[in-house]
Structure formats: C-alpha cells, structure tokens
Amino acid sequence: MFGRRKERTGAVRRTTGQDLELAHTKEPKEAASHPHKQHHPVFNHNGHKVTKGIHPDGESGRKGVHPHHFLRISARSASKLSMAVNVLWPFVPAAIVVRYARPEAHLWIFVLNYIAIVPTANLIGFAGQELARKLPKVFGVLVETFLGGIVEIVLFMVLLTKNNDDPASEKYNNFIPVIRAAILGSILANVLLCLGCCLFAGGLRRDEQDFDAAVSEVGSGLLLTAGFGLMIPAAFFTSLSGNTTVDLDPEQLTDKVLTISRVTSVILLVAFLLYSWFQMRSHHGIYDAVLEMDDARDQDRHKDLKKAKLTLTECILALLISITLVCFHAIFLVEGIEHIVEERHVSDSFIGLILIPLVEKAAENLTAVDEAWDNQINFALAHVLGATIQTALLNGPLVVIVGWGLHKAMSQDLNFDIFNAVILVLAVIVAGNFLRDGKSNYLEGALCILIYIIIAIASFSYPNPIHGAAGTSKASLATGAGAEGGHKLRFLK
C-alpha cells in the first residue's frame, strides 16, 4: 500500500545514464503526442543539460572557449595513439622558424614541415571527431570524413597553384605528375595500408570481426566505379598514342584526353553527390542502425562517454588553427620537393605515391585503427572507405576542375601512366575481395599491408626520366613514348 502511494506521488529514485539516454530518445515521441505539454530540460549521461540541436553524446556542458579545458582536452586527443602524436607539436614552430631563418636548408625545411603536418592533421581529425559527436550519426561520420580529407585538398591545391609547366619559364616546376601520383597514392594508402591496419588491429583481439554489407558492398561498388572512371582517360590515350591506323594528330589526342578528363571529373562529382544523398537522406536509416549497433558493442564506450568534450566554438577554433597551420606547412613542403628530388635523387613516383599520402592520411588512419581495435569495425570501414571515395569522387576531380578554372588544365588531366593504373585496379580488386564475405581477420589485414610495402618498394625503385624528358613532343606522342615521359617530374637528373 505504501509502495503504491510512493509510486503515485512520484518518489525520487536514482537516475542512471541509461535512463537519461532513454529519456532523450522518448522525449520527442512524448512531445509529438502532447504538443501543448511543457518540455523539461534533457540531460545526458554526464548530467549536462543538452543544448537544442546537439546530440547528447557530444554535449560538453559548457559554452564558448575555455583555454584550460581546450588545451587539456586537445592534448588528450581521441585515443592513446593520437595522444602520442601530440609529442610532435614542437616541430610545428621549428619548421616555420627554419623556413624563414635558413631558407637555403632545403632538406631540413622539407623534413621538419613533413613531420609538422602530422600533429596539425591530428588536431583536424580530433576536432572533426568532436564535432561529429554533436551531430546525427551518419551526418557526423560524413562531416568527420570530409574534414579528415582537408589536408589532402590543401596539398593538392598548393601543388596545383605552384605548378608552372611552361618549359621556357625560369620557374618551371611540373608538379602535375606528383598530383596524379598523390591521387592514386591516397587511394592506395586507404584501401591497402589503412584498411590492412584496421583488419589487423581488430583481428588481434578476436578471431573474426563481422561487418555489415551496407557499408562494405556500397563502398566496394563505388570504389570500382571510381577506379573505372579514373582509368578511362589513360586507357583512351594509351590505345591511340601509338596506333598508326588512326589519323589523329598528337595535339588533337591531347585535347581529347583533356576533354574526357573534364567530363569524367564532372560525372564523378555527380556520383559523389548521389553517394552523399544516399547515406544522409534516402537510406540513412540503414546506416543509423549499423552505426548504433557498433556503438553498442564498443568496448570503451563507457570511457568515451565520460570524457570531457570540446564545445562547438572550441571545435571550430581548433579547425581554424589546424587548417591554417596545415596550409603553411603544405606550402613549405611543396617548395622543398624540387630540391629533394634534384639534390637527394628521391624518386618522384615515391614522393607522390607514398610520401605525400602517408603524411596526409596519418591522423585519419589512427582514428580508424582505434575504432577497429575497440570492435567498431563498421565505423572503421565507414571512415576508410568514405575517405577513399572522397579522394576518388571529389578531391581528384576537384583538382581537374580547379586547374581548368586557373587555366592550368592543359597538363592537368587524368592520364595516369600504366604503372599507376595497374596498381590502382589491382588494389581495388584485392580490397573488394577481402570485404566480400562480410568477415575479417588479422591475416587479411597483414596481406594488405604487405602488398602496400611491395608497392612502396617498386615506386622507390621506379627510375626517374632524363633531365627535360617531361615534355610530350609531337614526335613522342606519335610513337607513344610520351605516355611515360609526360608523367614524370622535369627537374630530375
């Protein structure tokens, strides 16, 4: 009797984090059924009042900018791996100082700025992750993936703007081959190295990991589509450049390849928009369910929920600071490429295919590996495949279109050489085959990593052309010899 009386009078009971999350999920339904009912504040798992429009998982309980909290949370980062990367922050001011104090020290400038990009990119990744927590699940993952590709976009744009492919100019720097190699290198770093590390890390703690077909099949299909689109201009050029049965002037062939590249880039951008709409609007329920399931089996979720969060303003501030620093380091890095290739005889293929993608994907890879280690394999695949799709369907085509607008498009096309084209096709096939059965283990991850190492060795050993061989003359085009020479850096000896 007394128990019923207490129940009717609303006796106070202890409220757990689970009750608060259930209250948050039920509150919209109650509001819909009682439109005139007074709404009470909703609190998240940490007891923080949830701001309107902010997901409970990302509520910090604060507003504005608090320097102490901002620095402490940013230093803690998203995981132990990311936190370890923060020890590289002293390289950031050192790289800037050396660039202006010792401009002739080209090797030091290149190395310091190469290392300095890693912690600044890590801050972009962490701020993107904190921002994603405040958004709906699927939209948050897409935003986080896009922000993770900011470093890549910045490097591509710097390479493009610094490019001067006029052989008569004293400042002749043909960076277009580096951009082409970097586009493919980013895809390879994701589908082989990053995917391999995720499968390997996840497989160390369990016999097998199961992932949903909604993530793997759609990602694999889009990769095949992107690979097909990127290879068409190269296949067109290769089949006609040495074909004596076709009456086609070399300049006409170059123009046709450029036109095909531009049209292909526009179509790939449309494919990226369709992919984004598919995930965010028409089929977002499928991905929401998959990602919610991954959250439920996250072994460190209780720790992540208790961690202090950045405010929305602090997320934006962190992104502004890190992106600004990345722009400076990217400019200084690109300025040193010519000297590194010329003085240190580093293969241009190795720089574009391996070195640049490694530094631009470092932070993104750490996040995905940590998710796979915590048994969030669907989240990890969403980041890996999403970043790969972004490179193939957005960043790569964007370079062609921007080059078109900057009137530098005569040399910026998708005419990849045979070495890079074959590697890309085989990498997509290998990754798709490993994802086909919906299961993974550490062996598959190790094989992906080993394949990437083989590609790195081959690109390092790839011979540089003779000085001045970068030009594609009419004679070389007519015989097909310019197909390879036109894709190499001009300043190598």
Region 134-152: what's the mean pLDDT? Answer: 82
Whole-angstrom Cα distance, residue 114 to residue 385?
A: 25
> 27 or 343, which is more confident?
343
Rounded to the nearest integer, the mean pLDDT of the chain is 77
- Binned at pLDDT 50, 70 and 90, residue 263 comes out as very high
**35 is written with which tokens?**
């439109």
> 392 or 53, which is more confident?
392
Q: Give the closest residue to 308 by CA, choosing from 58, 141, 81.
A: 58
Region 361-365: what's the mean pLDDT? Answer: 78
Q: What are phi and psi of 471, to 5 degrees?
A: -70, 145
- Binned at pLDDT 50, 70 and 90, residue 167 comes out as low
- What pLDDT is stored for residue 194 in this prediction? 92
Helix axes 106-133, 150-162, angle to 10 degrees: 140
Residue 67 has pLDDT above 80, yes or no: yes
Residues ≥6 apart with Cβ < 8 Å to 409:
258, 262, 400, 403
- What pLDDT is stored for residue 64 in this prediction? 84
Sign (positive/negative) of CA torsion 460, 465, 468, 473? negative
- Binned at pLDDT 50, 70 and 90, residue 319 comes out as very high
- What pLDDT is stored for residue 169 in this prediction? 57
- Binned at pLDDT 50, 70 and 90, residue 53 comes out as low
Residues ≥6 apart with Cβ < 8 Å to 251:
474
Q: Where are the alpha helices (DSSP H) in 345-376?
A: 348-350, 356-360, 362-373
> pTM for this structure?
0.78
Q: Using one digit for the tens of pLDDT, what is the confidence trace for 289-306?
A: 776 776 667 666 666 667
